């Protein structure tokens, strides 16, 4: 929690000014019962109308001033809280982008989205209400108790008995609900994850006619969250009625024993009225405090979840060197590299070694789950190796600044990912300064000529995920996006699977002709896509069981022979 307090430091002035105005409002509220007592004892008792009107005017004036003070407090409190929330969201989003894939995999995207939206909003509301009520409610309670002690110390014992009872009630509710609110947020994370998966895979769900089953599962998760929230609500619901009951019993006691004191002449009618008013003020302050406890309990649970993300350090340390591309020689080298995902028992890759020179093409082939994409993610340093060393441009990959390294590597992932916006904006993702001629060249190499046929060409708008394009069009556009950044290393992670054989061939020929100095890593299920590669790795269950050229592997690697001949026989 202390980690979040630094986001309030720029708004110290607002944090101090707002409670001051709230205290002024509370002071004016505490004066009103005294004036009421004077009206009863001096004005009504003596039938002095001028005095009554004068005192009533003073009450109206105090009310107007209190309203102004309250509005001023709320303005500064809202200003502080919303700026705090904005800064916290920015910091959280920036921090998440600095985490490695290991930490993002551990938390999951659904919970990260939930924490950056719902949890930050709850924390922001907690700050807002704390500034507005945390000073006012205790001050009203303490001030009212002081005033009743001045009026009648014996009757004030009723307040001193009631206050600890209400405090214990507040403690009980807060102690029971904080863990439950945390559980609720976790259940909300699960619902967000399920919703995201269903929306992404809606076509698959419909293809298998699984709508009813998925709806039923979603309803069960929502019902579980509903029951959990009802349980929290039952505990929180105790606050208001119990507080009302205790405080109203206190008012009854005040009127009972105060009436006796009035009869004996030790207490005036005005003082008894003031006493009852102070009791009512305490009642309202306690109710406000009870509601504040509920809000702060939610904010506490949410703030802990936000702080957990901010306190999580990336397992991947950024380097300090900037990559320098050699004119020739070694570009990429794996030396006895092994890798395993966090929490996984078996290694995803074991003892991989190879060297790639500038301008060469590396082909990677193997069955599903062989570790092809994992190897590609190590080259772009999405993960750090568990054992061994990866060298890029002759230096350990860990030595480079990640931002500078990523500018030298163009990655086209297995799943074509496009963002809402224009084609031009998507092509500028790697380099915002790329010229239109370079964009058109990248589109030409990627065989994405369909862009010229679009109504607005480069300025054609793409919906979220590029859903207004076909699978092959999206793949070609993502390849063009990587080429537009003019990378020194291009990684094509099975990113030509949606292309027909003719387009696949044209694309590879264009890459060989136009990108001769670019080192290319091509991952493919098609052996025909890799026959001209300078080096081919054959992976099987994370182990490199063969490496060499197409011709040498046909002679030495049985698995490669099976893949190649089976595809040739099937016409692949």
Q: What is the DSSP letter of 10?
A: G
Residue 354 is inside which H or E element, if any? Answer: strand 349-357
Beta pairing, strands 387-392 & 349-357: unpaired
Judge contact between 76 and 17, C-beta under 8 A: yes
- Tell me, what's the pLDDT at 142? 79
Tens digit of pLDDT for each residue in 106-138? 787 777 888 888 888 888 888 888 888 777 777
- Tell me, what's the pLDDT at 422? 85
Class of the CATH domain delimited by 2-188+221-310: mainly alpha
Superfamily of domain covering 330-569 = P-loop containing nucleotide triphosphate hydrolases (3.40.50.300)
Beta pairing, strands 349-357 & 489-493: unpaired
Tell me which residue of 458, 456, 455 sits closest to 442, measured CA to CA. Answer: 458
Q: What's the chain's average pLDDT?
A: 81
- Tell me, what's the pLDDT at 570? 54
Average pLDDT over residues 447-474: 80
Judge contact between 177 and 211, C-beta under 8 A: no
Judge contact between 445 and 510, C-beta under 8 A: yes
The domain locations on the chain are: 2-188+221-310, 330-569
The pTM score is 0.69
Judge contact between 154 and 258, C-beta under 8 A: no
Say yes or no to pLDDT of 228 above 70: yes
Distance between start and end Cα atoms, the chain? 59
- At 566 the three-state DSSP class reads helix
Tens digit of pLDDT for each residue in 431-454? 778 888 888 888 888 888 888 887
| Residues paired with 334 in a beta bridge | 354, 390
Quickly tell me which residue has 């990684």 as its tokens.
491
Tens digit of pLDDT for each residue in 150-186? 777 777 777 777 777 877 877 777 777 767 777 777 7
Judge contact between 170 and 293, C-beta under 8 A: yes
Lowest mean pLDDT among 61-65, 289-293, 461-465: 289-293
* Band of pLDDT at residue 394, cut at 50, 70 and 90: confident
CA dihedral 247, 250, 252, 254 (to 10 degrees): -140
Alpha carbons 356 and 359: distance in angstroms, whole number: 9
Average pLDDT over residues 26-48: 78
Alpha carbons 152 and 254: distance in angstroms, whole number: 11
Lowest mean pLDDT among 109-118, 331-340, 538-547: 109-118
Of 271 and 476, more confident: 476
Average pLDDT over residues 231-258: 76
- Tell me, what's the pLDDT at 513? 82
- SS3 of the chain: helix, strand, coil, percent, to 5: 65, 10, 20
């Amino acid at each position: 929690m202390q980690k979040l307090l630094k986001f309030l430091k720029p708004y110290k002035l607002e944090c101090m000014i707002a409670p001051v105005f709230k205290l002024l409002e509370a002071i004016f509220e505490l004066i009103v019962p005294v004036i009421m007592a004077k009206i009863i004892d001096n004005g009504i008792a003596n039938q002095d109308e001028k005095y009554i009107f004068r005192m009533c005017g003073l009450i109206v004036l105090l009310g107007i001033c209190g309203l102004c003070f309250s509005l001023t407090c709320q303005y500064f409190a809202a200003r502080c809280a919303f700026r705090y929330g904005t800064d916290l969201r920015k910091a959280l989003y920036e921090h998440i982008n600095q985490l490695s894939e290991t930490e993002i995999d551990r938390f999951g995207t659904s919970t990260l989205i939930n924490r950056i939206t719902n949890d930050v909003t709850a924390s922001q509301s907690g700050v807002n209400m704390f500034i507005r009520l945390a000073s006012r409610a205790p001050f009203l309670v303490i001030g009212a108790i002081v005033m009743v002690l001045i009026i009648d110390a014996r009757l004030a014992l009723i307040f001193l008995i009631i206050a600890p009872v209400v405090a214990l009630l507040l403690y009980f509710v807060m102690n029971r609900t904080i863990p439950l609110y945390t559980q609720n947020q976790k259940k909300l994370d699960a619902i967000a994850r399920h919703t995201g998966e269903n929306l992404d895979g809606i076509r698959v769900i419909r293809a298998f006619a699984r709508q009813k089953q998925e709806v039923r599962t979603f309803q069960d998760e929502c019902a579980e969250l509903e029951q959990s929230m009802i349980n929290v609500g039952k505990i929180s619901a105790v606050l208001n009625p119990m507080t009302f009951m205790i405080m109203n019993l206190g008012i009854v006691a005040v009127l009972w024993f105060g009436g006796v004191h009035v009869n004996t002449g030790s207490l005036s009618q005005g003082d008894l009225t003031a006493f009852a008013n102070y009791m009512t003020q305490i009642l309202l302050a306690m109710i406000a405090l009870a509601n504040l406890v509920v809000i702060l309990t939610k904010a506490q649970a949410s703030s802990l979840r936000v702080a957990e993300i901010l306190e999580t350090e990336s397992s991947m340390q950024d380097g300090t060197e900037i990559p320098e591309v050699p004119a020739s020689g070694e570009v990429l080298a794996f030396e006895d590299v092994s890798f395993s995902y966090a929490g996984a028992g078996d290694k995803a890759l074991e003892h991989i070694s190879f060297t790639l020179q500038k301008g060469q093409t590396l082909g990677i082939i193997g069955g599903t789950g062989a570790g092809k994409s994992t190897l590609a993610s190590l080259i772009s340093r999405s993960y750090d190796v568990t054992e061994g060393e990866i060298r890029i441009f002759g230096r350990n990959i860990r030595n480079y600044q990640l931002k500078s390294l990523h500018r030298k590597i163009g990655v086209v992932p297995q799943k074509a990912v496009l963002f809402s916006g224009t084609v031009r904006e998507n092509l500028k993702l790697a380099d915002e300064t790329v010229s239109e001629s370079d964009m058109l060249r990248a589109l030409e190499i990627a065989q994405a000529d369909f862009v010229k046929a679009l109504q607005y060409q480069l300025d054609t708008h793409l919906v979220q995920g590029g859903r207004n394009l076909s699978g092959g069009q999206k793949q070609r556009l993502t390849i063009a996006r990587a080429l537009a950044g003019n990378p020194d290393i291009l990684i094509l992670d099975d990113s030509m699977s949606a292309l027909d054989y003719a387009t696949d061939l044209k694309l590879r020929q264009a890459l060989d002709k136009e990108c001769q100095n670019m080192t290319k890593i091509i991952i493919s299920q098609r052996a025909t896509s890799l026959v001209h590669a300078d080096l081919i790795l054959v992976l099987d269950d994370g182990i490199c069981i063969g490496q060499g050229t197409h011709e040498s592997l046909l002679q030495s690697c049985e698995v490669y022979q099976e893949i190649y001949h089976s595809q040739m026989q099937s016409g692949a």
